[in-house]
Structure 1
Amino acid sequence: MAASLASLSYSTKTGAQPLFNRYRSHRLHPSCLLPHPPSIGKHITRCSRKQRSMEKPSALETSDGAVNLKVDNDEEETCELVNRTEVLIDSVEAHLLTAVKNNNETGLILLSDVFGFQDSSTRDFAYRVACNGYNVLVPDLFRGDPWSENRPESEYEEWRRGHDLNRIRNDIRTLTEWMVDEFAAAGISKKLGVIGFCFGGGRVVDILAADKNGYFSTGISFYGTRIDSVVAGDVNVPVLFIAGDTDPLCQLEGLKEIKEKTGDGSKVVVFEGRGHGFVHRPETPEDDRDAEEAFSVMRNWLHQHLLRGH
C-alpha cells in the first residue's frame, strides 16, 4: 500500500526539516510521506459536529427532477485529526489539509470566494471536507490581496480588475501540477477534483476547460459568479452546480445553459429560498439546514466521481 498522504502535513513549525524552498516549486522530503504521531499542537484540529435534527428534509429541485436526501436525525459526524500545512509553490501560498487516519488518498483543490483563502468560513469548510478523508489544497488566489469588507464597495470592480484571470488560472495550474507530482511520488494515481465558492465557483469551469492533461475527474461550483459560458463547452467531465433560487449573483437560467455545455452527467441542484453564499456562510437556521443538505449532495458526488472506479 502506498504511503499515507496524511503525512504531507509535516510542518516547519514542528521543528521538522523545511518542506519548501520559498523561491521555487518543491518536492516534499521523503520522510513527509510517512505517518507521524499526532503531536503538532495547533496545526492539528479535531473535526466533530452534530448536525441539526432534520425530520423533514426538503426535496431539492434539480435540472432533471427532484432529489430526495435521506438525513438521519441528530447524526453525529466525527473524524480523526486533521493536519494543516502552509506551503509555498512558485510564490503562491496555500494551505494543505489532510486527514490523519481516514485518508482516502484523493485530492481536492478548493477555490475561495473574494475574501480569500485565510477567511474563516473557507477554512472551516476545508477542514470539514478533509474530515471526510480528502487532501484539500486551498490556494491564495489573490496573492495576499483579498477583498475586504472594510473597503468601499465603489472600489470593488477596480480591485477585481487588478487580479488577472489568466494569472489566477496559471497559478492554479502550477498548484495542480505540484499536487499531481506529489501524488505520483507517493505512488498514488487517482485524479483530482476542484471545488469553488462564488468567485472560485466561477473559476471551476475555467480550470476544467483548460485541463488538457485530464488531471480532474469532476468539479463542484457553489453559486459561481461570472462563469465564462464560452469555455464551458471545453469541459469534458461532469460538474455539479449548487445554487439558491434567490441569488442575484448566480442566475439559474444562465447556470442551466452552462450545465448543458459541460461534460455528460453534469447537474444543477437548486435550493428554494436560498441566496448567495448560504453553504459556506449560512446566516439563518434555514440556511444552515440547507447547507447541511448541500454538503451531503457534494459528499455523495465526490464519492461517485472520485472514489468509485479509481
Structure 2
Amino acid sequence: MAGSQCCSNPPVLMSNSGKGSVEEIVGLKVYVAAAASSSSKHGILLVSDVFGYEAPKLRKLADKIADAGFHVAVPDFFCGDPFSYDNPEKPLPVWRSFHRGDKEFEDAKTVINALKSDGISNIGAAGFCWGAKVVVQLASSDCIEAAVMFHPSFVTQDEMKEVQVPIAILGAEIDKYCSPEVLKQFDETLSANSEVTSFVKMFPGTVHGWTVRYDDNDENAVKSAEEAHEDMLTWFNKYVK
C-alpha cells in the first residue's frame, strides 16, 4: 500500500452536496445537518481536513451523525480558501502559514457559543487531519463535552497533556503525521491523566485521511471508514447525549 500523504486522494468539492443546508453563523458559512427531532439539544461540530467543508464524504458523515439525533455544524473555517493542488501559489506549507489553527480555534469557539445561544446545550467536536489541531484545543477548554480526532496532523504531546474532556483518537496504520508510535505516545499521555477518559485505536491497513477520503470501490477501505464512524457515534452517544 502506498505511503501516507496528507493530501492524497483529494475530494471533488461540491457546494450543493449533502442533505443539509448552508447557513451563515457568526459570519461564517456553515453546513448544517439537523437532527430529525427539532428539540434535540445535542450538537456536534465537525472540523474538516485541509480540503474544507464542501467535501462530499464529510457532508455525508454529517448527515449520518444528524440521523443519529445530533444537530451537526460543519463551518467553512477557511473562508473560501481550502487547500487545492490547482493553486500553485499556495503549496501546502504556504497554505498552512495562512491556516495554522489559532484563528480557526477562536472561530470554533464563537460558532459553539452561537449554537448554545440557539438552545444546543451539549456539544462534541470531531476533527479530521488538520482539523484535529483545532479539536485538541477545544478539548483543552470548557467549550465542549467530548472530542474525537481522526488521523490527526500537527498535534503535539504537550497539547495532549492539556486535554480536559473525554477524547477518542482513531488513527491509521500507515501515517507519517501520526504513526502507530505517535499514537501509542498519545495513549500513554492520556492514560497518565486519571481525570480524563480516553480511547485510542489504530486501524490496520489504513492510510492517513481514510475516514473521509476512502475509495468507494475499495470494500476494505469503506468498511474501515464505517467502523471508525461508528466508534465516533458510540463516543458521542456516551459523552454528549
**Is 2:68 the partner of 1:132?**
yes
Q: How far does residue 238 in structure 1 lie from its aligned partner after superposition?
A: 1.4
Partner of 1:246: 174
In structure 2, relative to structure 1, the CA distance for the partners of 1:85 and 1:159 (3 Å cut) is closer
CA distance in 2, matches of 1:108, 1:292: 18
Q: Tell me, what secondary structure is at the counterpart of 1:243?
A: strand
Q: How far does residue 118 in structure 1 lie from its aligned partner after superposition?
A: 1.4
Partner of 1:273: 205
In structure 2, relative to structure 1, the CA distance for the partners of 1:226 and 1:92 (3 Å cut) is same
Check whether the contact 2:163–2:196 (CA below 8 A) recurs between aligned residues. no
Partner of 1:107: 43
CA distance in 2, matches of 1:100, 1:87: 21
Consecutive unaligned residues of structure 1, counting only runs of 5 or more, are 1-41, 46-82
Partner of 1:55: none
Check whether the contact 1:203–1:227 (CA below 8 A) recurs between aligned residues. no
Q: Tell me, what secondary structure is at the counterpart of 1:146?
A: coil
Q: How far does residue 261 in structure 1 lie from its aligned partner after superposition?
A: 3.4
CA distance in 2, matches of 1:154, 1:246: 26
Consecutive unaligned residues of structure 2, counting only runs of 5 or more, are 1-15
**Which structure would you say has the larger Rg?**
1
Question: CA-to-partner distance for each residue in 1:232-288, whole Å, 9 max, x for gaps?
Answer: 222111110001111222222223323443452211111111111211221221111
* Among candidates 124, 127, 130, match of residue 196 of structure 1: 127
**Is 2:234 the partner of 1:300?**
yes
Check whether the contact 1:43–1:85 (CA below 8 A) recurs between aligned residues. no
Check whether the contact 1:239–1:259 (CA below 8 A) recurs between aligned residues. no
Check whether the contact 1:240–1:268 (CA below 8 A) recurs between aligned residues. yes
Check whether the contact 1:205–1:228 (CA below 8 A) recurs between aligned residues. no
**Is 2:173 the partner of 1:236?**
no
Query: Which stretch shows the higher mean deviation, 152-161 or 268-277?
Result: 152-161
Q: How far does residue 192 in structure 1 lie from its aligned partner after superposition?
A: 0.9
The higher-RCO structure (CA 8 Å, 6+ apart) is 2
Q: When the two structures are superposed, what TM-score results if normalisation uses the length of structure 1?
A: 0.65
Partner of 2:24: 87
**Is 2:218 the partner of 1:218?**
no
* Among candidates 138, 144, 153, match of residue 207 of structure 1: 138
Deviating beyond 6 angstroms after TM superposition, the runs of 4 or more aligned structure 1 residues are none
Question: CA-to-partner distance for each residue in 1:27-80, whole Å, 9 max, x for gaps?
Answer: xxxxxxxxxxxxxxx8993xxxxxxxxxxxxxxxxxxxxxxxxxxxxxxxxxxx
CA distance in 2, matches of 1:44, 1:247: 28
| Matched pairs, number | 220
Q: What is the percent sequence identity of the aligned residues?
A: 28
Q: How far does residue 222 in structure 1 lie from its aligned partner after superposition?
A: 0.4
Q: How far does residue 111 in structure 1 lie from its aligned partner after superposition?
A: 0.2
Question: CA-to-partner distance for each residue in 1:87-110, whole Å, 9 max, x for gaps?
Answer: 231x32212210234864200100
Q: Residue 238 of structure 1 aligns to which amino acid in structure 2?
A: P
Q: Tell me, what secondary structure is at the counterpart of 2:155?
A: coil
Check whether the contact 2:126–2:135 (CA below 8 A) recurs between aligned residues. yes
